[in-house]
């Protein structure tokens, strides 16, 4: 077991005043079979009407509206989470994660990679998913800035590069091609920097976390925030506002063992 203290800071600055700023922040770690939330504080500036909700995948979020004009929006979330060393989480709902989405739909590059592995029929889903993960470590290079949240796994495979979002969506593509339910996870991992993404694979009646970016199973260093069919279901910050302002957003994440 590990106790992790985390801090998430998001600051959005605008080149002119904005109004009627509605936002949704998917930054509430859930209690799961792998983690238990010990404490959580959410601070938002400017002063806003705030409430909490839950989406169709069961993810919790904070939402609200800042009605007064402002040129900066700050979200500061901090807390402590007890994470286990167990690799699997019980649960259900796998039916949602068989189906490809536009972000994970296989194209020629994915088909060549899948067929080139020549895996024999049979074998448990987790073992096959780990083979796909190993193949992606050879097929993709970690290169920031070459994709965004609208990019598909086929785009990343075609250019042979991307970030954790792309590694994860490519793993979802291969698993779903193989008939394995697989879902996208957004969260945090020990260290300083940004948020992270990985996959959860359904095998033997349980969910197993696999991190294709680093080529390993998820362990007690990870804090889960949410899951969905692909990265579009797991956008941590969403907002709309009134005014023609240009936004500049800065995010920093820190996760440390207590």
Predicted local confidence at residue 89, as pLDDT = 80
d(CA 183, CA 226): 10
1 to each of 31, 35, 87, 163, 220, how far by Cα in Å?
Answer: 15, 9, 12, 29, 7
Asked if residue 215 and residue 126 are part of one domain, the reply reads yes
Residue 133 and residue 215 in contact, taking contact as beta carbons nearer than 8 Å:
yes
State whether 78 and 99 are in the same domain.
no
Q: pLDDT tens digits, the chain, 258 residues: what are they?
A: 889 999 999 999 999 999 999 999 999 999 998 999 999 999 999 988 999 999 999 999 999 999 899 999 999 999 999 998 667 788 778 999 999 999 999 999 999 999 999 888 888 999 999 999 999 999 999 999 999 999 999 999 999 999 999 999 999 999 999 999 999 999 999 999 999 999 999 999 999 999 999 999 999 999 999 999 999 999 999 999 998 999 999 999 999 999
137 and 18 in a common domain: no
pLDDT for position 85 = 64
Count of domains for the chain: 2
At how many degrees (to 10) do helices 108-117 and 125-139 cross? 120
State the pTM of this model: 0.94
- For residues 102 and 42, membership in a common domain is answered with no
Same domain, yes or no: 160 and 173 = yes
For residue 161, the domain's CATH number is 3.10.620.30
Whether residue 225 sits in one domain with residue 122: yes
Among residues 203, 214, 218, 206, which one has the least CA distance to residue 126?
203
Three-state DSSP class for residue 155: helix
- Domain of 247, in residue numbers: 2-82+236-257
> Does 193 lie in the same domain as 247?
no
- For helices 108-117 and 164-177, angle between their N-to-C axes, nearest 10 degrees: 60
The answer on 128 and 157 residing in a single domain is yes
Please identify which residue in the block is written with the tokens 């806003």: 48
In contact, 15 and 245? CB cutoff 8 Å? yes
Q: For 166, how many CA atoms within 13 A lie in the half-sphere containing its CB?
A: 27
Q: Report which DSSP code applies to 43.
A: E
Q: Is 215 found in the same domain as 117?
A: yes
Rg from Cα positions in the chain: 19
Residues 8 and 113 in one domain: no
Instruction: Identify whether residues 190 and 112 lie together within a single domain.
Output: yes
Q: Are residues 95 and 167 in the same domain?
A: yes
DSSP string for 163-220: -HHHHHHHHHHHHHHTT--EEEEEEEESEEE--EEEEEEEETTEEEEEETTTTEE--T
The enclosing domain of 11 has a CATH number of 2.60.40.2250
Other C-beta atoms lying within 10 Å of the C-beta of residue 92: 8
């Amino acid at each position: 077991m590990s106790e992790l203290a985390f801090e998430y800071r998001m600051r959005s600055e605008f080149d002119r005043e904005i109004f009627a700023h509605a936002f949704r922040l998917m930054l509430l770690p859930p209690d799961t079979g792998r983690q238990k939330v010990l404490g959580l504080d959410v601070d938002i500036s400017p002063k806003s009407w705030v409430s909490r909700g839950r989406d169709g995948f069961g993810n919790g979020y904070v939402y609200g509206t800042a009605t007064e004009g402002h040129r900066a929006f700050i979200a500061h979330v901090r807390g402590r989470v007890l994470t286990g060393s167990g690799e699997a989480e019980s649960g259900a709902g796998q039916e949602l994660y068989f189906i490809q989405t536009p972000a994970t739909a296989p194209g020629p590059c994915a088909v060549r990679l899948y067929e080139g592995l020549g895996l024999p029929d049979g074998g448990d889903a987790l073992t096959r998913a780990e083979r796909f993960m190993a193949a992606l470590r050879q097929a993709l290079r970690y290169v920031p800035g070459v994709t965004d949240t609208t990019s598909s796994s086929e785009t990343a495979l075609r250019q042979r590069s991307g970030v954790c979002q792309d590694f994860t969506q490519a793993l979802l593509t291969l698993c779903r091609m193989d008939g394995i339910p697989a879902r996208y996870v957004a969260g945090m991992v020990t260290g300083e920097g940004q948020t992270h993404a990985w996959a959860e694979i359904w095998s033997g009646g349980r969910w197993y976390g696999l991190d294709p970016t680093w080529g390993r199973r998820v362990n007690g260093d990870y804090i889960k925030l949410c899951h969905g069919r692909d990265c579009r279901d797991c956008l941590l910050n969403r907002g709309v506002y009134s005014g023609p302002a240009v936004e500049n957003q800065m995010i920093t994440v820190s996760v440390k063992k207590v």
